[in-house]
Structure 1
Amino acid sequence: MIYLTTKEVADIRNCSERHIQAGVTSGMINAQIIMANNNRKKYLIPLNELTDAEQFKYYKSHAIPIPEDLLPERKSERPHKEFDEFSAVQREEIAEWIRILNAWDEYCATSKLQKVPATEKFVQLQKVANSDLKISKGILYRKKKALKADDLAGLLDNRGSWKKGTSSIPEEVWQCFLSFYLDEAQHPIQACYEYTEMWIKREAPQLLPLPAYASFYRKVQTAIPKPVEIMGRQGMKAFRDRCAPYIRRTYEGMASNEWWIADNHTFDVQTKGENGSIHRLYLTAFFDARSGIFTGCYVTDAPSSQATLIALRKGIVKYGIPENIYVDNGREFLTFDVGGLGHRLKKSQKDKFAPPPVFERLGIKMTNAIVRNAKAKIIERRFRDVKDRLSRLFPTYTGGNVVERPERLKKVIKSADNIPTDYELTQAVEDILTYYMNEKPYSGAVSSDSGKSRMQVYREQLKEKRVAAELDLNLMLMRSTRSQKVGRRGVHLTVAGEKIDYYNDDLILNHFGESVYCRYDPEDISKVRIYDLDDNYIMTAPTDNEAVLAYGASKDAVSQALRKVKSLEKLTKQELKASQITAFGKETALNLVLATAEENKANAEEINPKVISVHRADETAEQLPMAVGQSNIVTIDKAKMIRNLEQRQKEE
């Protein structure tokens, strides 16, 4: 606390010292009274008794740093803000100052003192009542002026706010730092700081020295948008999974069979095949999104488009034809004759004939999940139930990883009698999924269906069941070939690398050289149905081969992936690109570290120790007593010294 004499206060106020003394004795000015050497009273007045302008004058005349709250307010056009636009803490501060200003007006109106003395007295009372409150006459007048101007921001304590958001880091340096920080190598902040210093030292030494590491650390925490940081350091998939917007699906208005979701699952169970091999089978399943029941399921040793059609056929026979199917981008779902090529269709193939895919013939609309999207398919959550409620029932349960693997598994595998067969697993899967898991309580998003079984929900929400006659269904589920011309040996299928010909005399006589395509049943390839390119049925032709090969392998499929351009993803890409250094060009951290290492290597000093001590592993030396001040550095073999002395005496 700074105290002034009555003379110093009088000089600041440009009045007589006697006037200041009168103010002290009347109580208008607070002061401490001490006794001087001549036994006379001396008044010491605290500096904060003066107005802000008087305090400013004192600090300036004595070359003392001026406190921030006494500096003249920076003139800036502050945007008008309504009361509800401020934070909760700011609103409380504004309300407190409004109460104080109203109390000030009331005190001056009821006080017998003049306005200025009453204000000074009010300030003193507020300091006593609230010691933490920063208040003075000048502050009161400024707050009052702001309130009259409807400038609520002027009621806040804005000390230091003028520099909020500013940084001591030059923009060129920050851009360089971001070039290293926003990298999927995920360099630590300290390393990025060092790389930046290396780069600036080589390319822009005029920007040295860099601000402290703490400045970079703080700015990393506040100045980099989180989506930009995740995309730059963790990649696009992490950005899409954690930051990109997604479509929230609602189920209240959805009916049963409106959406089926399909996917494949690897059983965490080892089984034994017909040839004695031990392996793990796969489940191709369709799942009704509204009710949560498994509709069509098929156990196979390898997911394929044919396994997909078999599972779909089982589901359609029992539950009807779905309106929509939601699948991922696997080949087993998107073969040209099952789902179509979609966006993978080459430009050279766009004008070529393509037979109507199976889904299209069934009147099913197919939708594909976004590639590598973690949130895409809720069926994967149901596969967790398959693991917990089905796979764990078998003695050869393997667990999903090494940590989950049961200790008993090795012993069970050694005992071949305990290994379930493929047939046993297949039968158990169909029964458990249909008659156990489909009857479990509904656990979906519609709260009104809570407490019901999944099958009950399916039945209640089934508005329409689309069915097809068995012959029509067989026809719609047939596989198709690409277009081909009828040749001298008719038409053909290529199955498992073998070419199978189909023809008869009528086909050659009446349709030779015409472009056609074939539909066939993969489980019976002894004949094919032939159609023209307008999808008109021509005839059924038998195979010309003496032996019909079994259908051994499914055809490869290409998929159609939905591309959804997200505005946030595009914006984040632009922000990430803008965050890269442009002023001097980017240099990789590896090159900088290698260059720095090379410089250090060139400037390395040769190691020249003051003492070099030689040690031998195969000798044990006995040390002589050391003289005063002697350093225990060199070890001497006393016996050897005596022998050398005796040898010299003999020679003499």
Structure 2
Amino acid sequence: MLSREWFTAAALAALALPGLPRAKKNVTALAKRAGWQHPEAEGRLWRRRRGGGGGIEYHCSVLPAKAQAALARIFAAGAAGAAGGAAREALVAGELWAWFERQPETKKATARARLEALEAVAALVRSGVGRRAAVRQVAALRGVAPTTLYNWQRLVAGVPRQDWLPRLAPQYGTAGRGAACSPEAWEFLKADYLRPEQPNFADCYRRLAATAAEAGWTVPSARTLLRRLAALPEGLRVLTRQGAAALQRLYPAQARERGVFHALEAVNADGHVWDVFVRWPDGEVARPVMVAFQDIYSGMILSWRVDRTENKEAVRLAFGDLVERYGVPDHCWLDNGRNFASKWLTGGVPNRYRFKVRDDEPHGLMTALGVQVHWTTPYSGQSKPIERAFRDFAQGLAKHPAFAGAWTGNDPRAKPANYASRAVPLDTFLEVVAAGIAEHNARPGRKSEVCRGRSFAEAFAESYARAPIRRASAEQRRLWLMAAEGVMVRRADASIHLEGNRYWADFLLAHRGRRAVVRFDPQALQEEVHVYRLDGTYLGAAPCVEAAGFADVAAAREHARRRRAWLKGYRQMAAAERTLSVEQVAALLPKAPAEPPAPPPKVVRLVQGGAALRPAAAEEEDDTPLDERLFVAAVRALRAGRSGPQLRVVAEEEAGAED
């Protein structure tokens, strides 16, 4: 049994174990290839390093047998040898360098300045100057006390020269220190704050303070607890306060390369309702519906038809225009609506309305032409790139000057002031739409990976002239150039885009919307990149999120599996963090104090008529104070004509003063 079982990549590289690389990045690459960092193996084969800086640690069981044997020899109980001592020193040095890399640039600069001072002292000593004189000279030049230089020398005493720099870095920090907080108070705060109602922190802290005062918990300041909540993983806070849908949006969407196709190899279709009132030849005023087919490779709109509704005839006519003008595509992505799933169009192809294909069912137009039909996910814009073109039409073409007064607004709550003031004749509408789609296809400056500044029509024409040459897809791959360092971490999903590649890691969630420094190998952009903050603090390695082919079903399933595993991990983390339910939080809140009894009156006002002072029917013992009873008895004696000492005796007898 080893005395130590968990090691960082830097420590394993420094140990120079047989069968393992000697560089940290190569050990990390080996861990990914061998599956050491599989999400389901967390806690068993790998874990997140505790303490400042974080990182990943691997269990010794993942190492080759020879490497494990070497570790056993190094860490054997009672082993004391030169080889073992050197190995342990190398392990410490490797971890120290890994810690140094995670520090901000200010600490690194301080360490370099201290190293220069020690080098200056050593140079003076080598030139014949006494050590004390050399220390005094360098201390005067550096503006520090000689004792400071001696302290720096003690930090590196007995340490190899190549490991001085990390040891000279300032060791101050907040790790291991912090204001005292009762575990019950911390669990109470997490259970109250990490819930879908998204309560304000100030309200949660106020409830915590009230409960802690009654339960006797120790609670630090509000700022301290707010920092501790902010230190929780970003994904955990998003899941518990905003829900799984919000957390899922933080996971990068799967990218699909259009360059795997050539022109007309794959198309997609959908319907679009125009936000324009049109007057049809029979006098009816209604919003028209357009069915359009788009080339997936270039983004060019190939054919379209307009009708009053989205029906199978409009879909079929639009597809017929496509085939007549350009040819037959090999693949077609269609919406799951009944009009596109009509047997006259896709007969013989199973879909969500037709799970069984009968032998006597007539083959539809696409099936007869050998078009492979794919059904898209409902309300999924990524599955239907034509949705992006429809958005351009709704924002620009629907507001054409020729449609003034006929635009309906894109939302029932955003109706224009001239709503329904006119309706555009159908012929005028078709003429303007035809010109607008032609301009949309010919507009230069498109920034897709296929157009590269050209128009959709130009990109389509270039590939169409070579289509069916299969090398066309290979020639579409661009040569990526090295980018300047300093990129933006996307706010939407915390991904980094660099030279057409996307990189993502879980730690980037806490840095969304911020700029970062990326260091990478321009010859290996498919490997991970190392991300630093602008101040030089090392954040971690972000692997490349590989783009899959548009029709790559296996890649889509693998992407969905990884995302489910990622979401499952955060759900388990949320369950572990919240040990109290909201009901338990409510039960722990202090009870409202009971209403205090009314204080006894200091002054008593006499009521007209002596009978009202003491009810005659009262049989129970009178608990009226003695002085008040004397006063009432004296008043009665006066009314009866008593005076002087006689008045006093009568009053005391009636009031029961002998008690």
Among 389, 413, 418, the residue aligned to 1:408: 418
Give the conservation status (yes or no) of the 8 Å contact 1:119–1:137. Answer: no
Name the structure 2 match of 1:187. Answer: 199
Give the conservation status (yes or no) of the 8 Å contact 1:93–1:156. Answer: yes
Among 442, 451, 454, the residue aligned to 2:456: 454
Which amino acid is the alignment partner of residue 97 of structure 2?
Answer: K
Using a 3 Å threshold, how does the CA distance of structure 1 residues 293 and 112 change in structure 2: closer, same or farther? closer
CA shift, 1:283, in A, is 2.0
Superposed CA offset, 1:345-369 (max 9, x none): 89xx679879567654443334455
Which amino acid is the alignment partner of residue 324 of structure 2?
Answer: V
Give the conservation status (yes or no) of the 8 Å contact 2:196–2:241. Answer: yes
Mapped to 2, the partners of 1:378 and 1:607 lie a distance apart of 75
CA shift, 1:151, in A, is 5.4
Give the conservation status (yes or no) of the 8 Å contact 1:308–1:333. Answer: yes
Give the conservation status (yes or no) of the 8 Å contact 2:293–2:319. Answer: yes
Give the conservation status (yes or no) of the 8 Å contact 1:261–1:325. Answer: yes
Using a 3 Å threshold, how does the CA distance of structure 1 residues 350 and 369 change in structure 2: closer, same or farther? closer
Name the structure 2 match of 1:81. Answer: 97
Give the conservation status (yes or no) of the 8 Å contact 1:180–1:192. Answer: yes
Mapped to 1, the partners of 2:323 and 2:265 lie a distance apart of 13
Which structure is larger by alpha-carbon Rg, 1 or 2? 1
Using a 3 Å threshold, how does the CA distance of structure 1 residues 404 and 133 change in structure 2: closer, same or farther? farther
Alignment partner of 1:228 is 2:212: no
1:526-541 paired onto structure 2 within 5 Å: none
Mapped to 1, the partners of 2:247 and 2:202 lie a distance apart of 24
Name the structure 2 match of 1:22. Answer: none
Using a 3 Å threshold, how does the CA distance of structure 1 residues 436 and 109 change in structure 2: closer, same or farther? closer
Alignment partner of 1:565 is 2:560: yes
Residue aligned with 1:210, SS: coil
Using a 3 Å threshold, how does the CA distance of structure 1 residues 90 and 324 change in structure 2: closer, same or farther? farther
Among 102, 107, 111, the residue aligned to 1:94: 111
Alignment partner of 1:365 is 2:372: yes
Residue aligned with 1:263, SS: strand
Mapped to 2, the partners of 1:156 and 1:145 lie a distance apart of 17
Residue aligned with 2:291, SS: strand
Sequence identity, in percent?
18
Using a 3 Å threshold, how does the CA distance of structure 1 residues 193 and 423 change in structure 2: closer, same or farther? farther
Using a 3 Å threshold, how does the CA distance of structure 1 residues 569 and 190 change in structure 2: closer, same or farther? farther
Name the structure 2 match of 1:317. Answer: 324
Alignment partner of 1:603 is 2:594: yes
Compute the TM-score of the two structures, normalised by the length of structure 1: 0.53
Name the structure 2 match of 1:139. Answer: 152
Give the conservation status (yes or no) of the 8 Å contact 2:275–2:394. Answer: yes
Alignment partner of 1:160 is 2:151: no
Alignment partner of 1:107 is 2:109: no
Give the conservation status (yes or no) of the 8 Å contact 2:291–2:305. Answer: yes
Name the structure 1 match of 2:222. Answer: 213
Name the structure 1 match of 2:544. Answer: none
Among 157, 163, 166, the residue aligned to 1:150: 163
Mapped to 2, the partners of 1:260 and 1:216 lie a distance apart of 55
Superposed CA offset, 1:25-63 (max 9, x none): xxxxxxxxxxxxxxxxxxxxxxxxxxxxxxxxxxxxxxx
The RMSD of aligned alpha carbons is 4.5
Superposed CA offset, 1:552-583 (max 9, x none): xxxxxxxx997652424422332233223578
CA shift, 1:158, in A, is 0.4
Give the conservation status (yes or no) of the 8 Å contact 2:275–2:408. Answer: yes
Mapped to 2, the partners of 1:351 and 1:392 lie a distance apart of 45
Among 288, 292, 295, the residue aligned to 1:288: 295
Give the conservation status (yes or no) of the 8 Å contact 1:294–1:433. Answer: no
Name the structure 1 match of 2:35. Answer: none
Mapped to 2, the partners of 1:362 and 1:200 lie a distance apart of 75
Unpaired segments of 5 or more residues in structure 2? 1-90, 470-552, 602-659
Give the conservation status (yes or no) of the 8 Å contact 2:307–2:314. Answer: yes
CA shift, 1:270, in A, is 1.5
Unpaired segments of 5 or more residues in structure 1? 1-75, 413-417, 467-559, 611-652
Using a 3 Å threshold, how does the CA distance of structure 1 residues 442 and 318 change in structure 2: closer, same or farther? farther
CA shift, 1:106, in A, is 1.9
CA shift, 1:397, in A, is 1.3
1:341-490 paired onto structure 2 within 5 Å: 359-369=366-376, 373=380, 375-393=382-400, 394-395=403-404, 396-401=406-411, 405-409=415-419, 412=421, 418-422=422-426, 424-426=428-430, 428-429=432-433, 431-432=434-435, 435-441=438-444, 443-446=446-449, 450-451=453-454, 453-462=455-464, 463-464=466-467
Using a 3 Å threshold, how does the CA distance of structure 1 residues 136 and 371 change in structure 2: closer, same or farther? farther
Mapped to 1, the partners of 2:317 and 2:411 lie a distance apart of 30
Using a 3 Å threshold, how does the CA distance of structure 1 residues 97 and 160 change in structure 2: closer, same or farther? same
Of 350-359 and 81-90, the range deviating more from structure 2: 350-359
CA shift, 1:102, in A, is 0.6
Residue aligned with 1:191, SS: helix
Compute the TM-score of the two structures, normalised by the length of structure 2: 0.53
CA shift, 1:324, in A, is 2.4
Using a 3 Å threshold, how does the CA distance of structure 1 residues 219 and 142 change in structure 2: closer, same or farther? same
Among 222, 233, 246, the residue aligned to 1:238: 246
Mapped to 2, the partners of 1:184 and 1:373 lie a distance apart of 26
Using a 3 Å threshold, how does the CA distance of structure 1 residues 339 and 107 change in structure 2: closer, same or farther? farther
CA shift, 1:403, in A, is 7.4
Mapped to 2, the partners of 1:380 and 1:423 lie a distance apart of 25
Mapped to 1, the partners of 2:272 and 2:368 lie a distance apart of 27
Mapped to 2, the partners of 1:398 and 1:228 lie a distance apart of 43
Name the structure 2 match of 1:579. Answer: 574
Give the conservation status (yes or no) of the 8 Å contact 2:238–2:246. Answer: yes
